[in-house]
Structure 1
Amino acid sequence: MTFKKAVRLQLMVGSAMFALGATSATAQTAAAPTGDAAPTAAAPNDQGLSDIVVTATRRETNLQKTPISISVLDTQALTDRHVLSLFNLADGTIPSLRIATFEARQSALTIGIRGIVPYDQNQTARDGGVSVYIDGVALGKTQGLNAALFDIQRIEVLKGPQGTLFGRNTEGGALSLVTKAPTGVFDGRVVGGVGNFGGRNAEIHLDLPSFYDISLKFDGVYQHQDPTVRDPLSGSTGWNYYDRKGGRAAARWQPVTGLTADFSYDYAKDDNTPNFSQLLSYNPNNYAVGSYVNTAAAGATPVYVLQTLPVGGVNCGGTSATVCIAPKAPIQGVHPNRQYVSDVGVPQQPSVDITHGFTSNLKYKLAPWIELRSITAWRGVSTDQWDNSGGTARSTFVPNANISRYSLSFLRQHQFSQEFQAVGSIPQFDYVVGAYYFTEHATEYAATPLTNQFNADGTALSVRSPIFLGNVNSGANSGYQQVDPACNNALAATVPQFTNSCQFITRASSAYDHNYSVFGNLTYTPSGLDIVHITAGGRYTKDKRRGQLYVVNNRSDLNPINAVANSVATPFLFANSISRFDPMFNISLDATRDIHFYAKYATGFRAGGANDRSQSFNAFGPEDVKSYEIGMKADFWDHKARFNVAGYIMNRKNTQFDFDFFDTNSASPTSGAHIEQTLNAGDSKIRGIEADLTVKPIRDLTLTASYAYTYWRAPKASYSITVGGTTVASPAQQLYIVYTPTNAASGAIDYVLPVHIDDASVRLHLDGNYSSSQYSFQLEPTKTDASFVVNGRLALADIAVNDHNKVTLSVWSRNLFDTTYVYRRSAANSAPVTNFNGTTNPTNYGGVLGDYGNFNSPRTWGLEVAAKF
C-alpha cells in the first residue's frame, strides 16, 4: 500500500466514524432494510435496487410481484444490526413484527404480527397466532425460539393470515427463516468478537467441495453475555445472561438432473437467565400505610399483624372504610431507572433450553410443468426454567414471611411433520397443491417455591436453605428445589414420575396434538390480458387435541373435586376436534412494468386448547380472523426507489383472552392458588396501514424507511368460576391487545465507500427504531414506555490478505445511545386484588406494593473480525 493510499484510507475511515455520530437525527426516519435476499437481476449499470426473491407463495417469486405484504431481512442486514437471536429484533426492526419475552424469561418469546399477539402460549396445550418456520418446517412451541441463529440467508415476515399455504396458527402471519444451503464449492468463514458485559461470539461456516454428487456444509456458533444486572447472592447468576452454543450439518445430494435432496440436523443449547423485574413505584394510589405489631405474649414466638389501632387518625384494618396496606420493606428500594445491582440476593441459576431437529427436503422436477416436493421433519425442545426475576419487587413486606417466587418449569416437546407439494406452471396457470400432517406430544411440570424470607424488621433477607437441596452459596450445587422438610412425597403412590422427587409440584400436564390438512393455490392469467392475475386458494384442516392435567398443588386426587361414594379420582381431561376450511382470493394488476396493485381476502385461525394454569385444564375453542387487504408495490426513478404500501382490515372472532383470580376456598384443590382461566371472550377488530420506502440515490448509499399504524378494539368481557358448588361471576373487564403500538417506525442508512484497494470498502450502517407506548398485560390499562433505539456498525470490509482470503474488521453497537425504557409494566401490585371464595368477592389489600417492570437491554458494543477463506 502506498503512502497516499494509506492516508486516503485513514481519511475515509475518519469521515465514516464522524458520520456515525453526526447522522443520528437522520436515522430517526429510517427503517428495516429489506436487503438483497437473493438478487436475480441488477438494475442498469448496477446503480439501482436489485430484485429480491421470496418463497411466500411456496415458489420463488420476485418480492415486488408477490401480491402480499412481506418484509425481508437478508444476511447483510442481520450482520449490520448484530442480530444473534430473534430477541434482537424486539427493538422494532420491522414495525409490524413485535417480539417480547414471555413474562421476563428469555427462554420463550412472544411473537406477533399486525396485532395478533399471544399473551400466554407458554404451555403444553396452547399455541400462538404467528407461526415460526425454519426451512419450511413449523415449530410447535415458542420455548427455545431465542436460540442462536445459524447461517441465515434471509428472514421473511409474511404479514396477514397465511391459513391457505401455511396452515393453522398463522392468523397474524408467519415468520420464515431460510438457512444457507450447501453450494458444493469450497468456502469458509470464521467470525470472532468481544464486547462489553463480557460479551463474546464466534462462528465457523464451512462449505466442502462436492464429491459423488454430495455437497456438505457445517455451521457452528457460540454467543455469550455476562449478566447486565448483578445478583448479590454468592453462587447465583445475575439477570439478562446468556450462553448459547450450537451446530448444524447439512448435506445436498443431486444424483440426477432434476433431483435435489437436502438433509440437515441441528442442535442448540441456550443457557439464560430472565430479565430483571424492578419496583418502579411504591403505593402510587396513596393508600394509607399501616405498621406491624407483635401480638404474642411476652417471651412467646412473635406473631406480627398489621396495626388495627388508629394510626395518625386512620383506622387501619378495622371497620372503617379506610384500609391500610403493608409498609414497604426498608431493604427494597424504589427504582424508576435502570438497576445494575439487585437490592437483595436471591437464588438464580440459568434456565437451559435445548432444541434439535432433523429435516429432509426433497425436490424432483418430474416434467417442465411440475415439481414434486417432500418435507419431512422431526424436532424437539426441552426447557428447564429457573425464573427468580421478581425478587422482592413483587413481594409485600410481612415480618418473617416467605417471599421471592422461583418459577420452575420443566417442559419436553417432540413433533413430527410431513408435507407433500406439487408445484408447477402450465399455460395461463401457476399452481401449488399439497397435503400436510403434524403431530406433537408435550409434557410439563412446574413448581413455585419461595426462596427467601424477610427478617422481622425488613432490613435484611435470609435464604430459606432448609427447604432446598444443595448449598445456596455454591454454584456447583445450586439445584434449588422446594421440598417437604421430611421429604414425604404425597404423590409417590399415584404418580410414579415423582416417586423420588421432593419437589412440591404446582401442576403437571401433558397434551397430544394431531393436524391433517390438504391445500391448493391456483393463479390464472387470462390469455391476451397478461397484466391481470387472479388467485384462488383454500385449505381444509382437521385439528384434534387432547390432554390431561394430573397434578395440582401436589395432589393427584383432582376430579371429582367433591368426594362421591364409589367414585374414582381422575385427572382433569380435555379433548377438542375441529374441521374448517380457510379460503383465499387475490387479484393483482400490473399497471406498468414496475407498478403493481393487489386486493386480497384471506382467513386464518389459531387452534383451541386448554389452560393448565387454570388448574382444572379448562378448554377453549379456536379463534379465527377474516382479513381484507389492498396494496401497491412500485419501483420508480429508474429503479433507484421502491415504495410498497398496504392497508388492511382484520376481524377476529372468539378471541382467546386470559382472566385471573385467586382461589380462597379451602375445600378446593386449588385453594390458595393464583388461577388463570382462558375464554373465547368475544370479537376484536384490527385495522392498519404499512408503508416501506427504499431509496438508492447514488450507487453507494441506500436509505430505507418503514412505518406501521395499527388500530385495535378489544371487547369487554366477564367470566364465572364455580368453587365449592357455588358459581361466582366477575364484573365485566376491558380487555387489551398486548405489544401492539399504535405507531411504529424504523429506518436505516447504509453507505458503502470503496477504498480502491482490491475489493475493500468502508461500510457504515445506522438504524433507528421507534414504537409508541403499548399494553403488556391483557387485563391492565397500564402502558409501557414509548421507545426509540439506534443501532450502528462501522466496518472495513473485504481486506484482501491474498488472492483467496479476505478479512473484515468492524465495530458495532446495539442501543447506541443507551436508551432506557420499560418494555413490560404491570400495576397488578398497585391495587387491591379481588378474591373469589365461592360466596363473596372480598378485596385483599395485602398485596398492594407498586408497579413493577422490565427494562430493555442497556447499550452493548463490541469489536469483530470475520475472515473468508
Structure 2
Amino acid sequence: MIRAVSSISLGALALVLATPALAQTAPATADAQVQTDAAATAAPTASNDGLQDIVVTATKRETNLQKTPISISVLGAQALADRHVQSLYDLADGAVPGLRVATFEARQSALTIGIRGIVPLDANQPAREQGVGIYVDGVYIGRQHGLNAALFDVERIEVLKGPQGTLFGRNTEGGALSIVTKAPSGKFGLRATGGIGNYGAYNGDIHLDLPEVAGLSFKLDLVKQSQDATTKNPLEGQTGWNYYNRQGLRAAVRWKPTSTITNDFAFDIAKDKNSPFYSQLLNANPNGCVAGSQAAVAACTLPGTAYTSLTGTVKSLLPGVVVNGDSRMKTADIGVPQQPSIDKTHGFTNNLRWHVSDALELRSITAWRGVDATQWDNSGGAHRVPVVTLTAACTAAAPCAFSRYSLADLKQDQFSQELQAVGTVGAVDYVAGLYYFNEHVQDDAATPNSTGAIATLNAAGQVTGATYTTIPFCTGQTVATDTAFIGSAAQGCSIDRASEVHSKSYAAYGQATWNATDLLHITIGGRYTHDEKQGVLHISRNVNYDTNTAAATAAGYQPLDKTWNRFNPTATVAYDVTPNVHAYAKYATGYRSGGASSRTQNYQPFGPEDVKSYEIGLKNDLFDHRVRLNLAGYIMDRKNSQVDISSIQPFNGSSFNNLVTINAPGITKIRGIEADLTVNPLEGLTLGASYAYTYTHIPRIPITYTAGGQSTTVLQQFYIVYTPRNAVSGTIDYALPLGDSDTKLRFHLDGNYAQATQAFDQFATKADSSFIVNGRVGLADIAIGSGHTFGISAWARNLFDEQYIFRRDPSNSLPGAPTTNVSTGSISNILGDYGNYNAPRTFGLEGTIKF
C-alpha cells in the first residue's frame, strides 16, 4: 500500500470525500507495510493497535513520518510488490498523485520525473538538468538515462515533495525521489521469486543474505525481467514496440569493526534492452490546412508566429498508412527497421557511519556511477516527417525515403563525495555537510531515413499503390572527425549533433532544529552551492565545429563556460497540537542550474531557474490510530522558468530535431493542495485515498522569429507538461489469516485517476485523462518446513485495459517554422497529430520462496 504524507487544508479533504467512487477504487499513499533498515525502527502492518509508525530519512536522520514537517509519500516493499512495480516507469500510473513519471518518446529507459509541477520536457541533453533529484542510497543520479533499469531489493521509495535545496541540493526544485535498498542483515536468508505473464513476459529475482563473519555481512541481489513487444513490427526480424529485457546484479557488504562503526559498500551493474512505445498517427490534417490566407484557416496556426499566408500542399498519406486515434494498435501499419536500445549502468557506493556519541555521528558517502546509452528509435515510422510525395519517380533504384530512425549515444561518468555530521546537542538536532560532484557527459545523434517507398504503376504509368523496402543508411557519411568519439548507434551517419560537457558542483550546508519546548520545534537551514559547467558542441548538422571555425562562427556558436552561485535557505515552524496532531509552516527554496541546448546550431545557452515555496501542513493520527489524515497546501513561485520550443526541420536527407530552451520572464505560479487519508477499520483491512490539486501558470512569453532579413515578435503561452490539475488515487488492502498458521490470503486493489495534461511546453493540445486499476491476490507465508515459507499470487496491471494517449504531439499538424519569410508558413510537411498510447493490460502468476 502507499503511505503518502501530504498535508493541507480541509478543502482538500472535502474534494476527496466528494469523489467517493474514486476514493474507493483509487490508491492510498499510506503504506503500513514498510520495512526499514536495521538501524531504523520497524514499521509493521496495521494490526489491533491500529496504523503503525513509519520511519523516513528525509531530514538525513531517522524520524517518524508523522512528526516530520515535510510532505512525503512512502512506497514500501509490500506496496511495490502489490502493484507489481518492476521499474520506476511502473509508477507512471499515478501511485503517488503528486509524482508524475513519463517515458521519453525515443526509449523507455530515459524517464521524465516531476513533482508538484516541476517537470522538464527534455532533460536528455548533457547540458540540461532535471528538476527532481533522484537518489539511490543517498547518492545523486546525474542523468535520467538508465533510470528505468530493473529495481533491486528496494526497502522503500521516499517521495519528498517541494524544494529540497537545503539538504539535497541543486536540481531538487520539485523535490527528491529517494530509493533505499535493503542492506545486508548479517543473518542467513534466501528469497527467490519467479513469475510469468502475458506478452511472453517472465521475471525472476534472487536475494541471498549470508551470516555475519568477523564483522562482515554479505548480500547478493540478482534481477531479470523480460516482456515481448505489445505492438508488433511487420518487418521480419525487427524489434516491435514496448519491448524490454532487463537484468542486473548488486553485491553489498556491511562491515562492523566496532559497535559504533558501520561501513556499507555496494557494487551494482545492470543492462536494459528496450524499445519505445509506438507513435500512432491519430488523425490526418485535423486543422484543415490549405494554401492561401492564414486568416481563412485560423486553426492552422503555429504558436509564436504571425503568418499572413500559407504555402505548399498537404500531401496524401502513403498507401497502407493507418489513421487511428481511437485505440492502441497491436500491429504497426508499415514495418520499419528497429533494434533495441541498450542502457548499461554501473555504480560503486561506500557509506561509512561512525557513531561517536549521541551528540555526533560522522558519515561519508562516496560514489562512482556511470551510464552508457545507445538509442535505436523508429517509433514513428511513416507518421513523422519527412513526408513522401509518391510519384512514378519513386522506383526500386531510387526509393523515396521516409521513416526517421533516431540514433543516439550517450556516455556519462560521475563521482560524488558527501561528508555529514549529524547529532543532538541539548535541545538542538543538527545536520551539517559538505558535498562535491563531478560529471563528464558526451553524446551524439543522427536521424537518417531508413525506409523507402516504391510506387506501383499501372499500364498507363499511373501510381496505384506502393511497396516498401529498407534503404541503406549510415554508410560512411560521418563528417571527418575522430570517429571514436561517435558511438556505435550513430557511427557512419550524418551527425545531427555531438556535444561534451564537464560539470562540477561544490556545496556546504547546515540545518538545525531547536526543540524550544516539548511542543514547539523551529528549524533553520541553508545551503551554499557553487556550480561550474563547461560544454562544447563538436558537431552540428554534420559540420565539425572543432575544425571548421568559420562555419561555427557563422552559426553564432560559442562554447559553454558558466559558473553559478546560490544560497538556498529554509525555515520551518512545527507545533504538536496534541500528541497525535502536528502542524507546520515551511519556507523553502531551490534552484536548477543552467546549460545549453545541443539541439541548436549555436549551442544556445540558458540560465538557471529558482523557486520559492511556502507550505502549511497538518498531520493527524485519529481515533486511536485507526485513521491517519495528512493535509498540505503550498504556493510556489518560480523565476526564469526553462521552457522549450521544439520543431522537426528537414535537413540533408533527414529530419533534424531543433530544440531551443529559453528562460521565461516573470514569475511562474504553481499552487497546490494535497490530502492523504488512511483508515484501518478492522484488523487486516486498510483503506486509503490520496488527492493532489496542482495549478500552474507561465506568463506569456515574447517569441521572436527572424527569417529573410525580417523579424516578428509574438506573445506566446507556454505550459507545464505532465501535470494534471486533479489527480486521485486509492487503495484497498486486506490480509485474512487462514486457520491457526501464519498463512494469509492477501488482497490488493488500487485505482489511479489523472486529468489530461499537455505533453509539450509550447502547445495547448492535451493528451488524455486516465484511470488505471491494478490488482493482486495471493496466499502468503505458507509453511513448507522449519522456518521456510512459500507464497503464490496472481497480479494484473491496467486491469480493465484502459487505453489513453499519454503523449500527443501536434507539431506535424501545423505549419513549419519560418525559414525564408516571417509572414509565410509552409504546410508541405503536415501529416497529423501523432502520439503514444499507454501500455495494455498485463497479468501473470508469481511465486516466492523464503528460507
TM (norm. structure 1) is: 0.88
The CA deviation at 1:671 is 11
The CA deviation at 1:829 is 1.4
Distance 1:81 1:684 in 2: 35
Q: Give the secondary-structure state (helix, strand or coil) at the position aligned to 2:599.
A: helix
Distance 1:322 1:229 in 2: 36
1:269 to 264, 268, 271: 271
1:408 is matched with 407
Given that residues 30 and 748 in structure 1 are in contact (C-alpha distance below 8 angstroms), is that contact kept between their aligned partners in structure 2?
yes
* Residue identity matched to 1:462: Y
Given that residues 22 and 751 in structure 2 are in contact (C-alpha distance below 8 angstroms), is that contact kept between their aligned partners in structure 1?
no
Matched, 1:514 2:504: yes
* Residue identity matched to 1:508: A
Q: Cα gap change, 1:740/1:414 in structure 2, threshold over 3 Å: closer, same or farther?
A: same
2:641 is matched with 655
Q: Give the secondary-structure state (helix, strand or coil) at the position aligned to 2:578.
A: coil
1:14 is matched with none
2:543 is matched with 555
Given that residues 84 and 149 in structure 1 are in contact (C-alpha distance below 8 angstroms), is that contact kept between their aligned partners in structure 2?
yes
Matched, 1:765 2:748: yes
Matched, 1:330 2:336: no
Distance 1:344 1:634 in 2: 56
* Residue identity matched to 1:35: A
1:538 is matched with 526
The CA deviation at 1:833 is 1.8
Matched, 1:359 2:345: no
Q: Give the secondary-structure state (helix, strand or coil) at the position aligned to 2:89.
A: helix
1:31 is matched with 28
> Pairwise mapping of residues 201-600 of structure 1 onto structure 2 (< 5 A)?
201-288=203-290, 324-336=313-325, 337-395=327-385, 396-399=387-390, 400=394, 401-456=400-455, 457=463, 459-465=465-471, 467-468=472-473, 482-483=474-475, 487=476, 489-492=478-481, 497=485, 501-526=491-516, 529-557=517-545, 572-600=558-586
2:598 is matched with 612
Distance 1:417 1:148 in 2: 23
1:786 is matched with 769
Given that residues 705 and 818 in structure 2 are in contact (C-alpha distance below 8 angstroms), is that contact kept between their aligned partners in structure 1?
no
Distance 1:106 1:712 in 2: 27
1:11 is matched with none
> Pairwise mapping of residues 637-676 of structure 1 onto structure 2 (< 5 A)?
637-660=623-646, 673-676=656-659
1:699 is matched with 683
1:4 is matched with none
Matched, 1:183 2:167: no
Distance 1:794 1:719 in 2: 54
1:193 is matched with 195
1:121 is matched with 123
TM (norm. structure 2) is: 0.89
* Residue identity matched to 1:856: N
Gaps of at least 5 residues in structure 2 are: 1-19, 293-307, 395-399, 456-462
Q: Give the secondary-structure state (helix, strand or coil) at the position aligned to 1:181.
A: coil
The CA deviation at 1:383 is 0.3
Q: Give the secondary-structure state (helix, strand or coil) at the position aligned to 1:64.
A: helix
1:603 is matched with 589
The CA deviation at 1:498 is 5.5
Q: Percent identity?
A: 51
Distance 2:515 2:732 in 1: 39
Distance 1:866 1:488 in 2: 52
The CA deviation at 1:662 is 6.6
1:303 is matched with none
Q: Give the secondary-structure state (helix, strand or coil) at the position aligned to 1:392.
A: helix
Given that residues 33 and 77 in structure 1 are in contact (C-alpha distance below 8 angstroms), is that contact kept between their aligned partners in structure 2?
no
Q: Cα gap change, 1:733/1:488 in structure 2, threshold over 3 Å: closer, same or farther?
A: closer
- What do residues 287-321 of structure 1 show as CA deviations (whole Å, max 9, x unaligned)? 4599xxxxxxxxxxxxxxxxxxxxxxxxxxxx997
Distance 1:841 1:674 in 2: 23
Given that residues 479 and 544 in structure 2 are in contact (C-alpha distance below 8 angstroms), is that contact kept between their aligned partners in structure 1?
no
Distance 2:832 2:610 in 1: 37
The CA deviation at 1:464 is 3.6
1:857 to 836, 839, 844: 839
Distance 1:133 1:171 in 2: 14
Distance 1:558 1:383 in 2: 24
Q: Give the secondary-structure state (helix, strand or coil) at the position aligned to 1:227.
A: coil
Q: Give the secondary-structure state (helix, strand or coil) at the position aligned to 1:90.
A: helix
Q: Which moved more, 1:93-102 or 1:553-562?
A: 553-562
Q: Cα gap change, 1:854/1:808 in structure 2, threshold over 3 Å: closer, same or farther?
A: same
Given that residues 559 and 571 in structure 1 are in contact (C-alpha distance below 8 angstroms), is that contact kept between their aligned partners in structure 2?
no
Distance 1:489 1:344 in 2: 28
Given that residues 289 and 326 in structure 1 are in contact (C-alpha distance below 8 angstroms), is that contact kept between their aligned partners in structure 2?
no
* Residue identity matched to 2:670: I
* Residue identity matched to 1:230: K
Q: Give the secondary-structure state (helix, strand or coil) at the position aligned to 1:605.
A: strand
- What do residues 754-792 of structure 1 show as CA deviations (whole Å, max 9, x unaligned)? 002421010000000000111001111111111000000
Distance 2:46 2:233 in 1: 58
Distance 1:672 1:802 in 2: 63
Q: Cα gap change, 1:441/1:721 in structure 2, threshold over 3 Å: closer, same or farther?
A: farther
Distance 1:360 1:591 in 2: 41
Distance 1:87 1:460 in 2: 38
1:687 is matched with 671
Matched, 1:711 2:688: no
> Pairwise mapping of residues 713-752 of structure 1 onto structure 2 (< 5 A)?
713-720=697-704, 726=709, 728-752=711-735
Distance 1:257 1:237 in 2: 54
* Residue identity matched to 1:542: H
Matched, 1:777 2:760: yes
Q: Cα gap change, 1:273/1:868 in structure 2, threshold over 3 Å: closer, same or farther?
A: same
Given that residues 104 and 277 in structure 1 are in contact (C-alpha distance below 8 angstroms), is that contact kept between their aligned partners in structure 2?
no
Q: Give the secondary-structure state (helix, strand or coil) at the position aligned to 1:732.
A: strand
Q: Give the secondary-structure state (helix, strand or coil) at the position aligned to 2:258.
A: coil
The CA deviation at 1:525 is 1.2
- What do residues 180-216 of structure 1 show as CA deviations (whole Å, max 9, x unaligned)? 0001000110000000000100000000000010000
Given that residues 97 and 112 in structure 1 are in contact (C-alpha distance below 8 angstroms), is that contact kept between their aligned partners in structure 2?
yes
The CA deviation at 1:855 is 0.4
Given that residues 784 and 825 in structure 1 are in contact (C-alpha distance below 8 angstroms), is that contact kept between their aligned partners in structure 2?
yes
The CA deviation at 1:619 is 1.0
* Residue identity matched to 2:675: A
- What do residues 681-740 of structure 1 show as CA deviations (whole Å, max 9, x unaligned)? 22310000000000000011000100000011012213446679x574452221010000
- What do residues 404-430 of structure 1 show as CA deviations (whole Å, max 9, x unaligned)? 111111000000000000000011100
Q: Cα gap change, 1:552/1:694 in structure 2, threshold over 3 Å: closer, same or farther?
A: same
Given that residues 32 and 43 in structure 2 are in contact (C-alpha distance below 8 angstroms), is that contact kept between their aligned partners in structure 1?
no
* Residue identity matched to 1:116: I
The CA deviation at 1:654 is 0.3
The CA deviation at 1:379 is 0.1
Q: Which moved more, 1:68-77 or 1:447-456?
A: 447-456
2:4 is matched with none
The CA deviation at 1:42 is 6.8
Given that residues 193 and 206 in structure 2 are in contact (C-alpha distance below 8 angstroms), is that contact kept between their aligned partners in structure 1?
yes
Distance 2:814 2:407 in 1: 27
Q: Cα gap change, 1:464/1:421 in structure 2, threshold over 3 Å: closer, same or farther?
A: same
Given that residues 555 and 601 in structure 2 are in contact (C-alpha distance below 8 angstroms), is that contact kept between their aligned partners in structure 1?
no
1:848 is matched with 830
Q: Cα gap change, 1:866/1:589 in structure 2, threshold over 3 Å: closer, same or farther?
A: same
Distance 1:747 1:27 in 2: 6
Q: Give the secondary-structure state (helix, strand or coil) at the position aligned to 1:223.
A: strand
Distance 1:691 1:672 in 2: 46
Q: Give the secondary-structure state (helix, strand or coil) at the position aligned to 1:718.
A: strand
The CA deviation at 1:659 is 1.5
Equivalenced residues, count: 792
Q: Give the secondary-structure state (helix, strand or coil) at the position aligned to 1:517.
A: strand
Q: Which moved more, 1:96-105 or 1:506-515?
A: 96-105
2:305 is matched with none
Distance 2:577 2:21 in 1: 38
Given that residues 92 and 771 in structure 1 are in contact (C-alpha distance below 8 angstroms), is that contact kept between their aligned partners in structure 2?
yes
* Residue identity matched to 1:835: P
